[in-house]
Amino acid sequence: MASNLEMIGRDDVDDLEAILAVTNTDADEIAHNVTSHGDAIFTWDYERSRAALGKLYERAKKSQWNAQTDLPWDTDVDQEHVVLANALANNMTFGPELDVAGTPFANWGDKEWLEFGVQSQNWTLSQFLHGEQGALICTAKVVETVPWIDAKYYAATQVMDEARHVEVFAKYLDEKLSGHYPINAHLRLLLDDIINDSRWDMTYLGMQIMVEGLALAAFGFIQQMTTEPLLKQLLRYVMADEARHVAFGVLSLQEYYQELNASEIRERQEFAFEAAVRMRDRFLQQEVWDHFGIDVKEAVKIVMQAPERKTFQALLFSKIVPNCKKLGLLDAGDGWLRERFTELGVIQFEDWVDTGEEYASLDEVAKDREAAAATA
């Protein structure tokens, strides 16, 4: 059984010093090489025996969209205006409600908080971009390593989806925002671990269940909250794709986990826990505090006390926890993962809707086409 130190590199999950010690020291690198283990598997069994995956594949073929022509790229985006309008629309205070006397924020006024809002947008969209490239690489790997023909077909459509997602986030950052951030070190560690693992189902668990489950929740939150129409539409389309991707993970792993023994399931639980911690750590936004030249540890301590921050952090797990439950990972082996998720403060989502079927109601591309056909 692995210890916290072996799984996440520290004994105490909340050890802030250790979390912030993980930083990206290669911020200027152009390429990042990761060894990808695992066999490329040919199958000579071409029989279409997995109807649910077949249905998902048909849906994916019909729901392709074009990043260049299906989004209103002529929308003018004034970042400062968006920060202010979002705060107003969501009844959020500008800057923390907490007492900041004696903290690095003591001298911050509206100007600084506005700039923080702008940098936060740059950072958030940059991490989405890097995460999408992770998904592109992982899904290409799934095409090679998954042994089932229906899953290879489906995964091939996801490769195209992820290319489109990288494309839209890169274009949005270049044309509408004011700066890029390099990949967050915690996110990079997680992507490296997923790609490195030789077991085909671990690519699925790390990417389709954990990273994409979190992305679906985060995109949903921002899609609801933002007043910027281009980003709203962009996220609506990306989320429709992501819902299929998470469903692909749930459907495939549900079948495969039936074959695994208790110790193999425990390894999957540990991997899910490691991924959850890495993703929670990445949302501390340490690179943004660094950008402002303030003490990162002090800044994180203050920000983490804000109640809306805690709600947002927890909500990020609203898709992951029910999906882990559906896969049987929550309660296997005396509920080991249930205990970990309880410690992380996210167990309350266990009975929220899982993503096995949600993709059908989220098919925004099909809805728009039907609406356009009806008015034509």
**Residue pair 163/126 in contact by the 8 Å Cβ criterion:** no
Can residue 240 be called a binding residue for Fe ion (CB under 5 A)?
A: no
Can residue 135 be called a binding residue for Fe ion (CB under 5 A)?
A: yes
Contacts of 62 (CB under 8 A, 6+ apart): 366
**Tokens 């989320």, residue?**
239
Please count the residues of this chain forming the interface with Fe ion, following the rule CB under 5 A: 7
Can residue 319 be called a binding residue for Fe ion (CB under 5 A)?
A: no
**Residue pair 284/217 in contact by the 8 Å Cβ criterion:** no
User: Binding string, 95-134, against Fe ion, x = CB under 5 A?
Assistant: -------------------------------------x--
CA–CA gap between residue 277 and residue 275 (Å, rounded): 5
Can residue 165 be called a binding residue for Fe ion (CB under 5 A)?
A: yes
Name the residue among 137, 176, 173 with its Cα closest to residue 158.
137
Q: Which is nearer to Fe ion, 87 or 168 (CB)?
A: 168
Which of 59, 245, 266, 340 forms a contact with Fe ion (CB under 5 A)?
A: 245
CB of 182 to Fe ion, least distance (A): 19
Q: Which is nearer to Fe ion, 201 or 212 (CB)?
A: 212
**Residue pair 40/145 in contact by the 8 Å Cβ criterion:** yes
Q: Which of residues 34-63 bind Fe ion (CB under 5 A)?
A: none
- Return the structure tokens found at 41: 């598997």
Alpha carbon dihedral 221, 216, 192, 4, in 10-degree steps, equals: 70
Stretch that binds Fe ion, among 2-10, 105-113, 209-217, 364-372 (CB under 5 A): 209-217
- Return the structure tokens found at 296: 């990162």
Q: Which is nearer to Fe ion, 239 or 265 (CB)?
A: 239
Stretch that binds Fe ion, among 100-108, 118-126, 197-205, 206-214 (CB under 5 A): 206-214
- Return the structure tokens found at 136: 């592109």
Chain residues that interact with Fe ion, rule: CB under 5 A: 132, 135, 162, 165, 212, 242, 245
